[in-house]
Amino acid sequence: MIQHLDVGLIVLDKEYKVNVWNSFMENHSGYTPNDVIGKNLFEVFKNIPESWFKRKSESVFLLNNRAFTTWEQRPYLFKFKNYRPITGSAAFMYQDITLIPLTSVDGTVNHIGVIIYDVTDIAVNKLGLKVANEELGILSRTDMLTKLYNRGYWEERLLHEFSLHKRNKQAVSLVMFDIDHFKKVNDTYGHQAGDEVIRVTSKLLIDCKRETDIAGRYGGEEFAVILLDSTAQNALLFTERLRKRIEESRVSVGSDSIKFTVSLGISDLTEKTQDYEEWLKQSDMALYRAKESGRNQSVIYDVNLNGAIK
């Protein structure tokens, strides 16, 4: 009966010599009891991580206490074929291992039992779930049209950078910008043309920004970028570069070639800024001033703007 249990059973003595080797072990490994009994486990199976396995076993001998290892620590102890070699997706058998102390009559532990469970299905499912969750995580942060961060996630990052600045005082700037007369593009050429303008703008934004800058789609035609390690003057170089690239670009719709521009507002984070909402508001004010002053330009926030805009 025990021979036919569909789990691996091995009994080892203190020298790691095999005393018991059941049919599961025989069938999966190809070694018969005759081949292995009385031999040192590590001499027969050279691929077993010897020091790791000994460390686990020695605590079982010493403390007279069971030990467990999961496939997440090591996918397998013995490299066996997947039990479903034809339809299964895993190349090998994932294994959970239990080590149990076998107490002799005088109460000492001279042998341990090793039980090997096939957990391939569980492992494959869990690994699949992990990949799916990671993809979900990316999806939940991404704006589908532009592939930029969506507003929710971008604001989380803004709050994070704001808090970080309170500690490290590194220069950091915030740029808000939007597409000039976007409604007119939509009304004249249709929503698909509008979407294409937004897509092209996002593409140019990604081209112009550095890897570390955090760009998001803030609203319909409104974008926001956090520029790390940048003063407002550094940010101005970036916004002017972006502004010119956008001004030079064209979006083709049928026979029409659409020209469009953006207005940009910049504010750097200072000691006086109370919270991240205030920081946002300052960039917004600068953006508003850029619009008022004739669009297609960058404006840096300063305190005098506060009075100018009601």
Partner 1 sequence: MTTSVLICDDSSLARKQMARSLPSDWDVDVSFAENGLLGLKALKEGKGEILFLDLNMPEMDGYEVLNAIRENELSTLVVVVSGDIQPEAYQRVISMGALDFVKKPVDARQIQDIFHKYGIYAKPTIDNPVKSREADFEVKYEDGYQEIANVAMGRAADLLARLLNVFVILPIPNVNMFENSELRMALRDIADNDSVSGVCQGFIGSGIAGEALLIFNDSSFEDIAELIKYDGKIDDSVQLELLMDISSILIGACLKGIADQLDVNFSQGHPVVIDRHVKVNDLLNQNVSQWKQTLAIEIAYKIENKRINCELLLLFTEDSIPSLNQRISYIVD
Binding residues for partner 1 (CB under 8 A):
56, 59, 62-63, 65-70, 72-73, 96, 98, 117, 126, 129-130, 133
Question: Which CB, 99 or 179, lies closer to partner 1?
Answer: 99
Alpha-carbon distance values, 253 to 133, 154, 259 (Å):
38, 31, 11
Q: Which of 37/109 has CB closer to partner 1? A: 109
User: Do the Cβ atoms of 235 and 171 come closer than 8 Å?
Assistant: no
What residues are paired with 225 via a beta bridge? 175, 215
The CB density around residue 223, as the number of other CB atoms within 10 Å, is 24
Neighbours of 143 (CB within 10 A): 18
Helix axes 151-168, 276-292, angle to 10 degrees: 110
**Contact predicate 170/243, CB 8 Å:** no
Q: Which is nearer to partner 1, 57 or 267 (CB)?
A: 57
Compute the least distance from the CB of residue 141 to partner 1, in Å: 16
Least Cβ distance, residue 132 to partner 1 (angstroms): 10
**Distance of closest approach, residue 72 Cβ to partner 1, in angstroms:** 6
Written as six digits, the tokens of 235 are: 């940010």
**Cβ distance to partner 1 smaller for residue 103 or 170:** 103
Q: Report, in Å, the least distance between residue 49 CB and partner 1.
A: 11
Phi–psi pair at 203, nearest 5 degrees: -60, -45
Nearer to partner 1, 65 or 170 (CB): 65
Nearest-approach distance from CB 69 to partner 1, in angstroms: 6
- Which CB sits closer to partner 1, 116 or 193? 116
Residue 256: phi and psi, rounded to 5, are: -85, 150
Q: Could you give the CA distance from residue 246 to residue 278 in angstroms, rounded to a whole number?
A: 28
Q: How far is the CB of 129 from partner 1 (least distance, A)?
A: 7
CA angle 255, 256, 259 (to 5 degrees): 155
